[in-house]
Amino acid sequence: MKLKSLIQNGPRLEIAEVEIEFISGIPQIHFLGLPDRVIKESFYRIKSALKSSGYRFPLTQQMIVNIKPSHLRKSSRGVELAVALGILLKTKQIEEDKINLDWVLYGELGLDGGVYEPSDLVPQFKKPKDCEILTGWAKENKENYHRIHELKDLEVIYHNNDKKDFFRRPSWGLENRFSPSEAEFLFLSAATGLNGLLAGDAGAGKTTIAKSLLSLLPEPDPDLTAQWKNNWRPMVMPHQSITTGAFLGGGANLFQGEIERVENGLLILDELLEFDPEILDALRGPMVGERFRLVRGAYEREFECSFQVVATSNLCPCGKWTPLKKDLTCRYSRTRCTKILERLSGPFVDRFGIMMFTQIQNERTIPGHEILKRVESVRAMKTGPVTNPEKTDVIRKLYPDVSTRRFNYLLSTAQVYAAERSVQTRKMSEVTMQDFVKAEDWVIKPFRLLEKGMC
């Protein structure tokens, strides 16, 4: 008898094969495959649940339960449901058509025969599209799982929830008001999905702008919402003193780091230049979507890096200097100020698509709701603006000193402006040189000013 269940592998639940066979001997359940104490103790819960539900527990046979893969240490809070149903099927106390052997069986058993959904199922298991799960009762049925409430009747219930009801776009960023330049930065960040850098005066509202972007991100895939708190994309804002191991993950059990927790969400690096340089160097690959691989001895784990980064920073210890200011008196030495700027290496800065130098604003009149309307109007376009390859090649020659990655950022931003014009005119527009000129103010000019530094 072979069934499917879930086992813990680092911070994730993974599908495992549960094989059950009987041999003569004292009635006992023997778990193979390096089980931990939680799995071993499930013998008593299984035995009590079966007897409380009116089923027979085998009296003259030993039950051998082999959990594959055999070489990994196993921990599981819900494998007992698979074992209990396997015993009932093996002893023919329930009909075979009651349970589909292709389902993943994962549930906790009560001593009275009740079946409950383990609390780690939703946040730690990424359900493949063709995977069907049988679990138990839960207070909040966030996922479309098959469920049984008790072993006694084995009545399978399917809850067909409309997952759209679980979308909860954060209102905080929509209620804030912004200056025209701040609103444009948020619009381009949300519409292009490019990583953004906010640099400038202390107290100019850089952190507030960065946090507000969460409210403008696109609605997530319905299959992912139940895994996150508040049913929206995650926002992770680590402190500057975080260690490299805590940020990237690792350790003996390859625990989850911050860049894995923020998957499909928003990573805010507040006070960017205060982070360990090793962290910034390690972020180069993940910031452009490369897969990240953790290795510790014989164990390894690889995962997708899909998140948007917004970083904030002061460019000088005094918190006042930006390249836009002239003849500014700083109380720190020029050597110290230059040393701060040198922490921004060229390859790392090149991972940011757009940038804005913030200034203290006296008037902020544009609400976040208006920015969201602009963003959604661009996203609603079924087809993007027309891009003429020949014109693009000609325009590319106008930027000979710009890297290919930077030009792609420029093209993406120009396409957003063209798409917005198409919405306004209700006519499909081509990407024009004017769109590129507008995009330059965000994609090229600020980075050139930053590169000049304090010269």
Q: What is the pLDDT of residues 404-434, one digit of tens each?
A: 999 999 999 999 999 999 888 888 888 889 9
Q: How far apart are CA 62 and CA 29, in angstroms?
A: 6
The residue among 325, 348, 375 that closes a domain is 375
* 152/188 same-domain check: no
* 298/414 same-domain check: no
Residue 310 lies in a domain: yes
Average pLDDT over residues 359-382: 89
| Domain total of the chain | 3
pLDDT at 64 over 80: yes
Report H helices in 115-221. Answer: 121-124, 172-175, 180-192, 206-212
* 157/198 same-domain check: no
| Global pTM value | 0.76
pLDDT at 368 over 60: yes
For the chain, percent of residues with pLDDT exceeding 90: 53
The residue among 348, 375, 402 that closes a domain is 375
| CA-atom Rg of the chain in angstroms | 28
Q: Which two tokens stand for residue 369?
A: 């709701």
- Domain range for 430: 381-455
Q: How far apart are CA 148 and CA 100, in angstroms?
A: 13
For the chain, percent of residues with pLDDT exceeding 70: 91
The b/e string for 260-288 (b: 16+ C-beta within 10 A; e otherwise) is bbbbbbbbbbbebbebeeebbebbeebbe
Helix (H, G, I), strand (E, B) or coil at 97: helix
Average pLDDT over residues 102-130: 89
From the number of C-beta atoms within 10 Å of its C-beta (0-12, 13-18, 19+), residue 346 rates as exposed
Q: How confident is the model at residue 339 (pLDDT cuts 50, 70, 90)?
A: confident
Please give the sequence-ordered ranges of beta strands (E in DSSP) within 376-415, or none if there are none. Answer: none
**Is 256 in contact with 212 (CB distance < 8 Å)?**
no
* 333/397 same-domain check: no
**Is 309 in contact with 259 (CB distance < 8 Å)?**
no
Average pLDDT over residues 7-20: 88
The domain that holds 106 is classified in CATH as: 3.30.230.10
What confidence score (pLDDT) does residue 158 get? 67
Residue 166 lies in a domain: no
**Is 149 in contact with 155 (CB distance < 8 Å)?**
yes
* 152/196 same-domain check: no
